[in-house]
Amino acid sequence: DETRPGGLRVLPSMVVVLGFPGSWMAEPDTGIDLPMIVHGDELIELHRPLPAAGTVRAEHRVVRIVDKGPGRGATITYDKDLFDADSGERLASVRHTTFARGDGGFSQAVGRSDLPLPPPAPVPARLPDRQLALRTLPQQALLYRLCADRNPLHSQPEVAREAGFERPILHGLCTYGFACRALLALWADHDPVRLKRLYARFSAPVLPGDTLRFDTWREGGEIAFRAHAVERGQVVLDFGRAHIDG
């Protein structure tokens, strides 16, 4: 916002697309059934405010592959660290988990699988402290493709149907961006610098055009949250946790 003191500032969720490694899971050597992958969860941690202009360097590493069993898929987790290319300072850390729905049972062939991470804390059972509804656009997935994620699951109806969806679904990271926007509006007076950590699990697909209702709770020093697709009455983000200064 150029009208605020300090000029343009960058939303913290921008770190999920900076240094994007490309569609490495589509490489034939991985053996991954690409149309069957969906986003599992996402965690970002901000170490310092993101500059509005500059060059970043990204380091990626696969840290965990968990076999859920034949017919149950597998999860692939990788970490990304973002650095200011000029100063070398670390800007942010990202942990990304993909659910490869068509790739369970591999440990029977290779003889090993990593252990799963412990489950995240659930959101409170009481009524939300604050709520906000945001509408996605019918063309939302096509706009998000401009961030370089061109998985055809999000744009080609025949690929979406082959993967078991009625039509192309919204990118999980686009939904994650809506969560960041909602939390900043509800709890940070739209100040992106105050958000230091953001986690969410993707529990169901979002369809472009869905209205997303964010239910949020103050839980000690954190904000817990969950998102529903209003028209379908379905929880699409769950186990959400954010650390917001102030």
Sheet strands side by side (includes 74-84): 56-67, 74-84, 90-100, 37-46, 195-202, 234-244, 222-229, 211-219, 130-135
Q: Is residue 91 part of a domain?
A: yes
What's residue 156's pLDDT?
95
For the cut 70, the answer to whether the pLDDT of residue 6 exceeds it is: no
29 is catalytic: no
**Is the pLDDT score of 32 beyond 70?**
yes
How do 234-244 and 222-229 pair as beta strands? Answer: antiparallel
* 221 dihedral zone (left: phi>0; alpha: psi -120 to 50; beta): alpha
Q: What is the pLDDT of residue 2?
A: 62
In a domain, 95, yes or no: yes
127 vs 84: CA distance, rounded Å? 41
| Residues 26 and 34: beta-carbon distance below 8 Å | yes
**Does 2 reside within a domain?**
no
- The mean pLDDT value for 73-91 works out to 96
Span between the terminal Cα atoms of the chain, in Å: 21
Please compute, for residue 142, the number of CA atoms within 13 A of its CA located in the half-sphere on the CB side: 8
Q: Is residue 155 part of a domain?
A: yes
Catalytic residue, candidates 81, 149, 210, 215: 149
77 to 60, 74, 100, 162: CA distances (angstroms): 11, 10, 11, 25
Task: Encode pLDDT of 69-80 as tens digits.
Answer: 899 999 999 999
- Domain of 170 in residue numbering reads as 12-244
CATH code for the domain of 218: 3.10.129.10
The length of the chain is 246
Beta-carbon contacts of 222 under 8 Å, excluding residues fewer than 6 positions away, are 241, 242, 243
pLDDT in tens, 202-216: 999 999 999 999 999
Question: Sorting pLDDT into bands at 50, 70 and 90, what band is 111?
Answer: low
Q: Name the active-site residue from 39, 154, 171, 228.
A: 154
In angstroms, rounded to a whole number, what is the distance separating the alpha carbons of residues 204 and 236? Answer: 4
In a domain, 1, yes or no: no
Instruction: Please check whether residue 3 lies inside any domain of the structure.
Output: no
What lies within 8 Å, CB to CB, of 211 at 6+ separation is: 133, 134, 135, 136, 229, 230, 231
- Helices (H), strands (E): how many in the chain? 4, 9
Residues 6+ positions from 229 with CB-CB distance below 8 Å: 204, 206, 207, 210, 211, 212, 236
Amino acid found at 91: L
Composition of the chain by helix, strand, coil, percent to 5: 25, 35, 40
Indicate if 39 belongs to the active site.
no
CB 154 within 8 A of CB 147: no
How many domains, in total, are found in the chain? 1
- SS3 state of residue 34: helix
Q: Is the per-residue pLDDT at 1 higher than 60?
A: no
Does the residue 173 lie in any domain? yes
- Percent of residues, the chain, with pLDDT higher than 70: 96
Q: Are 233 and 241 in contact (CB under 8 A)?
A: no
Query: Residue 184 falls within a domain, yes or no?
Result: yes
